[in-house]
Amino acid sequence: MLKKESLEIVETRYFTFAEPPHPLKLQSGRSIGPVTLAYETYGRLNAEKTNAILVCHALSGDAHAAGLSPDDRTPGWWDGLIGPGRALDTNRYFVICSNVIGGCKGSTGPSSPNPETGRPYALDFPMITIADMVEAQRHLIDHLGIDKLFCVIGGSMGGMQTLQWASAYPDRVLSAIPIATALKHSPQQIAFNEVIRQAIMADPAWRKGSYYDAGQPENGLALARMIGHITFMSDQSMEEKFSRRLKKENLSFQFTDDFEVEGYLRYRGYNFVKRFDANSYLYITKALDYFDLSGLHFIPAVKSTSIRFLVISFKSDWLYPSYQSQEIVRALKRKHAYTTYFDLVSTYGHDAFLIEIEDETRLIRNFLANVGQS
Amino acid sequence: MLKKESLEIVETRYFTFAEPPHPLKLQSGRSIGPVTLAYETYGRLNAEKTNAILVCHALSGDAHAAGLSPDDRTPGWWDGLIGPGRALDTNRYFVICSNVIGGCKGSTGPSSPNPETGRPYALDFPMITIADMVEAQRHLIDHLGIDKLFCVIGGSMGGMQTLQWASAYPDRVLSAIPIATALKHSPQQIAFNEVIRQAIMADPAWRKGSYYDAGQPENGLALARMIGHITFMSDQSMEEKFSRRLKKENLSFQFTDDFEVEGYLRYRGYNFVKRFDANSYLYITKALDYFDLSGLHFIPAVKSTSIRFLVISFKSDWLYPSYQSQEIVRALKRKHAYTTYFDLVSTYGHDAFLIEIEDETRLIRNFLANVGQS
């Protein structure tokens, strides 16, 4: 029933702004410009420009959230959720997704040419934050002529951007759906990101970030991603997928990958090297760690009450545990915001936000229908 | 009340066996000899030799479980549990702890000289298993003239050795206390060990294991230990210890350790390099992953019924979650073994088995008192 027709080929577009002498001011105090954002749109913006939904992606995501890519017809990373008749129904909504600043999928990031040198920024790229990502997106939304977003939605880091939108621009957001996310990174989340960064930076091929002529720090980046993958899955989903199955008939008694789970991690790790820039991984993990909307930083009560929130978490997600979503809900309730919360049963761990499309569709569709009526 | 007098200076002793042509046969089919085990004893063996308790150490532990070391008067790693009037009361029991084969604290391991070359074994050291560790300990127990151990006890990998003793030598064990352990490593546990191994092996200074002339692969080993440390603590204990406290007043907006938790991990990681051999870390993690007493491998019912078991887990331990201890309990119950189980409240995660001395003391003292009476 959910499987309506998919979107066709979707072209990624590019929007460049903040040309000097008017660069984008960043939270660090530094500036950067020009800035390009890669973005895709699905569906049509209505005449009143009131049907726009901004989709925010997670750590290693990109602007290609739905439809098929022109080159190899790869479906978008949330294709099951976006399309005609789907939860983000492109017959009704104008859906936008842009690659974050700091990324490596067409938006300006550490692998982009530094206009001052003509060579990749590498570590001369300024540190960026979730607020900076949102600020860049805000320029894109202005460019598209949209005054108020019908909805901002995203999982994981996309959920942080969603919360940041509601916090920084409460007048420009009608509804917000933060999924499997947090108001701030816990020390455990920071710790995992720190070992991930150290895995990259310990690789001599990283060359203090200036590896672009020589190629990626493959081993370090693959290892970093392998660590990440463990945290994306749950103990149970790993048991269901791999148990203790061996790759060969017997234990090798060698330092090789005896177990299927080891081979899977290596495959996923080294595959990641082909598609993601190591420095972007460093910058984006730091943005995650710096994020903190707890305490006094969240939306002013008077503004937040006008935004409708749908908060979703997954019971087996131990990277962004349900209690962190419940902290979001408590913070919103304190501000008297209209808030609906679901803690969904799933065995998929943090990956659930990309996998549990059917449950998400049901919740999001109902929620958006009510937003439309209010 | 628990803090009775501590043991005085304790000397580590050494026992060498399996001299060629009678080397120790290993589970892999390979053999090794001679084998030296470093060990310590506390208290006195009674005339009937019925009061011996074998303490088995975890991944990075050693033979120095109690008392003070002669050089720098460092207390043993389980000193709170072993001593006059303590849970393992050295006024009553003769307590033994030996460094595992494959280790680097005085027992034969990859850093020991290979008798064939006079140089460290490095990767020529044969793969060892938990069963091999126990087999080596069995030689030590024979050497000490002990026919039947009053108790075998250990946490984490020490708990695996405890289970292995009961399984391999059910007639030589009167009671067994496996703590915070498992019948087998889950794919998640294997996955963490695999990224730990890859962190070491990706360091060029590892030199395929032959680094002994040049020094340890510091970055790789430190990173490996940092990953481990995250898994030893709980989300909650990290929150309590570090929260999001910064090392300096403000965020650096640089790739440095902004948060206290990052500094702590680095400190612990690089400190570990001074005291533990990288190759031993590889061998011992592989032994953990290979361990599997599930299914048909466990103790024959007729034998297990004569052993009394006390199984302990900790609710916040997510590296060796309570359900794994409950699997041990179910396996024992199926064999009609006398089994007592406690799932203790603690926020310390896996580290709890080293920290929650008071709770452990209460349970172990009562349990051993009953073993003595049966």
pLDDT, one tens digit per residue, over B19-29 is 999 999 999 99
Q: Helices A218-232 and B187-201, interaxial angle, to 10°?
A: 160
Record: contact B190-A244, CB cut-off 8 A: yes
Is B237 inside a domain boundary?
A: yes
In a domain, B253, yes or no: yes
Q: Is residue A180 part of a domain?
A: yes
User: Residue B199 and residue A194: Cβ atoms within 8 Å?
Assistant: no
Kind and range of the H or E run holding B14: strand B13-17
Tens-digit pLDDT profile for residues B151-207: 999 999 999 999 999 999 999 999 999 999 999 999 999 999 999 999 999 999 999
Question: Using an 8 Å Cβ cutoff, are A25 and A136 in contact?
Answer: no
- A5 located within any domain: no
**Residue B150 pLDDT greater than 70, yes or no:** yes
Smallest Cβ–Cβ distance between A227 and the set B227, B261, B289 belongs to: B227
Cα–Cα dist B122/A5, whole Å:
59
CB contact under 8 A, A244 and B203: no
Q: Is A1 inside any structural domain? A: no
Domain final residue, candidates B234, B257, B287: B287
Q: Do B109 and B193 reside in the same domain of the chain?
A: no
Q: Which domain holds residue A312?
A: 13-184+292-373
Q: Point out the catalytic residue in the list B98, B107, B111, B156.
A: B156
- Identify all chain B residues contacting A238, using CB atoms and an 8 Å cutoff: 186-188, 191
What does the alpha-carbon distance between residue A108 and residue A113 come to, in Å, rounded to a whole number? 8
Domain boundary residue, one of B287, B322, B353: B287
Residue with tokens 């199955």: A245
In this structure, are residues A34 and A85 in contact, taking their beta carbons and an 8 Å threshold?
no
pLDDT tens by residue, chain A, 374 residues:
445 567 789 999 999 999 999 999 999 999 999 999 999 999 999 999 999 999 999 999 999 999 999 988 999 999 999 999 999 999 999 999 999 999 999 999 999 999 999 999 999 999 999 999 999 999 999 999 999 999 999 999 999 999 999 999 999 999 999 999 999 999 999 999 999 999 999 999 999 999 999 999 999 999 999 999 999 999 999 999 999 999 999 999 999 999 999 999 999 999 999 999 999 999 999 999 999 999 766 777 777 778 999 999 999 999 999 999 999 999 999 888 999 999 999 999 999 999 999 999 999 999 999 997 65
Is B4 part of a structural domain of the chain?
no
Nearest to A61 by CA among A156, A169, A128: A156
CATH of the domain at A17: 3.40.50.1820
Q: Which of A287, A313, A341 is the last residue of a domain?
A: A287
**In terms of domains, do B162 and B41 share one?**
yes
Note whether A160 and A289 are within 8 A (CB): no
Task: Quote the minimal CA–CA distance from B317 to chain A in Å.
Answer: 13
Q: Are residues B236 and B160 in the same domain?
A: no
* Greatest CA separation for chain A: 67
Chain-centroid distance, C-alpha A1: 27
- pLDDT tens-digit map of A87-108: 999 999 999 999 999 999 999 9
Name the residue among A55, A54, A57, A298 with its Cα closest to residue A166. A298
- Quick one: A272 and A162 in the same domain? no
Question: In the 8-state DSSP scheme, what is residue B120?
Answer: B
Indicate if A209 and A86 belong to the same structural domain: no
Mean pLDDT of chain B: 95
Cβ-Cβ contacts under 8 Å for B236 (sequence gap 6 or more): B316, B347, B349
DSSP three-state, residue B60: coil
Interface predicted TM-score (ipTM) of this complex, two decimals = 0.95
Strands A94-98 and B338-344: unpaired
Residue type, A241: K
Domain containing residue B221: CATH number: 1.10.1740.110
- The single residue of A156, A234, A237, A280 carrying the catalytic annotation is A156
Residues of A in contact with B241 (CB under 8 A): 187
Contact criterion met (CB below 8 Å) for A312 and A345 = no
CA–CA distance, A203 with A48 (Å, rounded to integer): 52
Number of domains comprising chain A: 2
Chain B residues with CB-CB distance to A280 below 8 A: none
Dihedral of CA atoms B314, B317, B319, B325 in degrees, nearest 10, equals 20
- Alpha-carbon dihedral sign for residues A240, A359, A190, A125: positive
B23 and B168 share a domain? yes
Q: Is A156 a catalytic residue?
A: yes
On the 0-12 / 13-18 / 19+ scale of CB atoms within 10 A, B305 is middle
Which pLDDT score is estimated for A4? 53
Q: Is residue B8 part of a domain?
A: no
Q: Is the pTM of this model over 0.80?
A: yes
Whether residue A350 lies in the annotated active site:
yes
SS3 of B203, please?
coil
Q: Do A289 and B259 touch (CB under 8 A)?
A: yes
B320: nearest CA partner in chain A:
A235
Among A110-119, B92-101, B364-373, the least confident range: B364-373
Pair (A39, A131) in one structural domain: yes
| A229 within some domain | yes
Residue B242 and residue B148 in one domain: no
Please tell me whether residues B144 and B163 are part of one structural domain: yes
Q: Counting one residue from A and one from B, how many pairs have CB atoms under 8 Å apart?
A: 145
Closest CA to A166 of A295, A304, A329, A49: A304
Do B325 and B361 lie in a common domain? yes
Residue A197: name the closest of A287, A320, A270 by CA: A287
The confidence score (pLDDT) of residue A5 equals: 65
Strand pairing class (A52-56; A94-98): parallel
Q: Cα Rg for chain B, rounded, in angstroms? A: 20
Contact criterion met (CB < 8 Å) for B257 and A195: no
> How far is the C-alpha of B180 from the C-alpha of A190, rounded, in Å?
26
Closest residue to A191, CB basis, from B126, B230, B321 = B230
Which one, of B77, B223, B271, lies nearest residue B156 by Cα?
Answer: B77
Task: Indicate whether A159 and A201 sit together in one domain.
Answer: no
- Could you give the CA distance from residue A53 to residue A150 in angstroms, rounded to a whole number? 6
- Tell me, yes or no, whether A33 and A90 share the same domain: yes
Residue B297's pLDDT is what?
Answer: 67
Contact B287, B133 (CB under 8 A): yes
